[in-house]
Structure 1
Amino acid sequence: MTQTDKTRLRDAATVLVVRRGGDGPSVLMGMRGAQAAFMPSKFVFPGGALDAADADVPLLAPLTPDTARRLEAESPAIGPALAAAAIRELWEETGLILGAAGGWPGMVPEDWRGFAEAGFRPTADALRFVFRAITPPGRPRRFDARFFLIDADDLASDPDDFSRACDELSHLQWVRMAEARDLNLPFITEVVLAEVQAFLSERPRGAEPAHVPFFDNRGERSVFRRIG
C-alpha cells in the first residue's frame, strides 16, 4: 500500500459504551499498542474505519430517524454502513454484542461470522450520534470519525466479558468519566468526553442530542460547528 493510500481520509465509526451508576457514569476504554501508527499507547474508545462490506450488513433494527438524518446530511445513504462499522468494531475490539437474536439472510461476511455464530444480528436503534471529528492534515492516518453513544444496558452480552476481543486494544476497562482525563488520552478524546459528560447530565437515557459537535479539518483551517 502506498503512503497516499495510508493517509487518505477514511470514514470511521467509534463507540462510547456508557454505564450509569450512583458515583457517576463510566465509559469503556482500551489502550492502543505502542507500535500503532495512529495514536500509539493512547487510551481510546473502540472504533475503526469503514469496510466496503459494511454497507451490505443486514441490520435487524435501523438507526433512529434523527441519527440517520444527521449522518446522511452530507453523505446520503452512509448511515447504515457507519452503524454496521460501529457495531463490528465494538465486537472485534471488545467482544461485546450490540444486537438481537436472529438468523442472517444469505452469506455472513467473514468479519461477522463470530457475531452470527453467537446467534445475533446487529441492531442500530440504540446508537446515538454524538460527535464528529476529522483528523487534521499531515497525520499518518486520517479519519472522518463519527462517535456513537450507547448504554451498557443495550448490550446483548455481559458488559464485563471481554474474552472474545481481538488484541487491538489492551487494558480494556470501565473508567469513571470523572477520572478518565488522568489517562493518556488523545486531545480529541478529551473533547468528546467533555461533550458527552455534559450531554449525559442534561438528557435521559436514550435521548437524542440537541445538536452534534463537529471538528471539521477538511480545509486549511480547523472549523468547529454543530450539526442540527
Structure 2
Amino acid sequence: MEGMTRAQVDNAEAKDFALGGKPMRPRDAATLMLIDRSGGEFRVLMGRRSRKHAFMPGRLVFPGGRTDPSDSRVAVADTLHPAVEAKLVVKGKRSISSARARAIALSALRETYEEAGLLIGRSGDYQTKREGWHGFAENGVQPTLSNLRMIARAITPPGRVRRFDTRFIAAWRDDVAVELPGGGPTEELEELVWLPIGNAVSEEIPMITRTVLGDLANRLAEDPSLDADHPVPFYYMRHQRFLRDLI
C-alpha cells in the first residue's frame, strides 16, 4: 500500500469500507495477531466477519475492535514490555498516556475473548466487575501483557463512514490459558481458522490486513522470537498519498 494515492486506495478498498460520511477523527482500536509456532510453519488465527457489517463485510480478519476507556482500569498480572509501551504511546506530535496505551493493548485481549473465546493470561484467582472481562473471572485467568508485541499500526484513510487508529498486536498461542469450547460470547466472527501466513495472504482479506501479514512474515523471517525493540511500520494517509514510517 505504501505510495498509493487516495484514489487508488479508495478503489482497492471499496468492498471493505462504506465510503462517504462526514470527516471524523479515527478511534483507537487494537487487533490481535495470535501466532501458532507449534508446527513447522507459523500460523495465524483469523475469523470471518458477517456480510451484514458495513466495516469489512465478509472478510477474514484478526480478532479486534475499538478500545474502551474502561479497559485501562482492568487488573492485570503483569505490565507491558517498556519497548512495546513506547511504541503504543506514539500518537502524532503528542504522546498518549501509559494508561491509554495499556487500554489499547487490553482491548486486543478482550476482543479475542469476546470473538474467539480465547483467554490470554495465566491461571489464578481473578475478580472484576468490568464489562467484557467476566469470562476471565469465571475461568480463573489473570490477563497478562508482558509477552505482547507490536507488529504494525494503521490509520483508516479519510472518507470512510468509520475510521480507526489500529494497533496490530501479536501474541503466541502458548499464551492462551483457556480456550472456551463454544467460542466467545459475541457473534462478530462467523468462523475461526488457523492459517499458514503464506496461505492467509491469498484469502479474502482486506488490503491493509494483507499488507500487515506481509510485514509479519518478514519480521518472523529475521526475528522469529519477536524482539520487543524491533521497529514496526506505521501506515497513514497524508497529502493524498498512503505512507509508511517506522516507529
What fraction of aligned residue pairs are identical, expressed as a percent?
Answer: 39
1:157 aligns with 2:178: yes
Q: What is the CA–CA distance in structure 2 between the aligned matches of 1:104 and 1:19, rounded to whole Å?
A: 26
Contact 1:18 1:25 in 2 (8 A): yes
1:223 to partner: Cα distance:
2.3
Q: What is the CA–CA distance in structure 2 between the aligned matches of 1:125 and 1:218, rounded to whole Å?
A: 33
Q: What is the CA–CA distance in structure 1 between the aligned matches of 2:219 and 2:139, rounded to whole Å?
A: 33
Larger deviation: 189-198 or 114-123?
114-123
> Any stretches of 5+ residues in structure 1 without a counterpart?
none
1:91 aligns with 2:113: yes
Cα 1:183–1:68 change in 2 (3 A) is same
Q: How many correspondences in the alignment?
A: 221
- Give the superposed CA RMSD: 1.9
Q: 1:189-224, CA deviations, whole angstroms, 9 ceiling, x for partnerless residues?
A: 001100001111111325225201000236644321
Residue 3 of structure 2 aligns with which residue? none
Q: What is the CA–CA distance in structure 2 between the aligned matches of 1:153 and 1:104, rounded to whole Å?
A: 20
Q: What is the CA–CA distance in structure 2 between the aligned matches of 1:219 and 1:123, rounded to whole Å?
A: 39
Contact 2:219 2:226 in 1 (8 A): no
Contact 1:33 1:169 in 2 (8 A): yes
Cα 1:162–1:38 change in 2 (3 A) is farther
Residue 196 of structure 2 aligns with which residue? 176
- Detail structure 1 runs of 4+ shifted over 4 Å in the superposition: none
Q: What is the CA–CA distance in structure 1 between the aligned matches of 2:133 and 2:97, rounded to whole Å?
A: 24
SS in 1 for 2:211: helix
Q: 1:122-181, CA deviations, whole angstroms, 9 ceiling, x for partnerless residues?
A: 1111110110000000112100000011111121124xx551312110120101111112
1:26 aligns with 2:43: yes
1:214 aligns with 2:234: yes
SS in 2 for 1:156: strand
1:101 to partner: Cα distance:
2.5
Residue 32 of structure 2 aligns with which residue? 15
1:66 to partner: Cα distance:
0.4
Q: What is the CA–CA distance in structure 2 between the aligned matches of 1:204 and 1:185, rounded to whole Å?
A: 24
SS in 2 for 1:171: strand
**AA matched with 1:197:** A
1:135 aligns with 2:152: no
Residue 37 of structure 1 aligns with which residue? 54
Contact 1:199 1:209 in 2 (8 A): no
Q: What is the CA–CA distance in structure 2 between the aligned matches of 1:140 and 1:36, rounded to whole Å?
A: 12
Larger deviation: 95-104 or 8-17?
95-104
Cα 1:184–1:222 change in 2 (3 A) is same
Contact 2:126 2:136 in 1 (8 A): no
Contact 1:59 1:84 in 2 (8 A): no
Q: What is the CA–CA distance in structure 1 between the aligned matches of 2:87 and 2:225, rounded to whole Å?
A: 19
Contact 2:83 2:229 in 1 (8 A): no
- 2:168 maps to which of 143, 147, 155: 147
SS in 2 for 1:61: coil
Residue 101 of structure 2 aligns with which residue? 79
- 1:57 maps to which of 62, 71, 74: 74
SS in 1 for 2:133: helix
Larger deviation: 213-222 or 192-201?
213-222
Residue 103 of structure 1 aligns with which residue? 125
Contact 2:83 2:228 in 1 (8 A): yes
1:115 aligns with 2:136: yes
Q: What is the CA–CA distance in structure 2 between the aligned matches of 1:209 and 1:179, rounded to whole Å?
A: 28
1:22 to partner: Cα distance:
4.2
1:103 to partner: Cα distance:
3.4
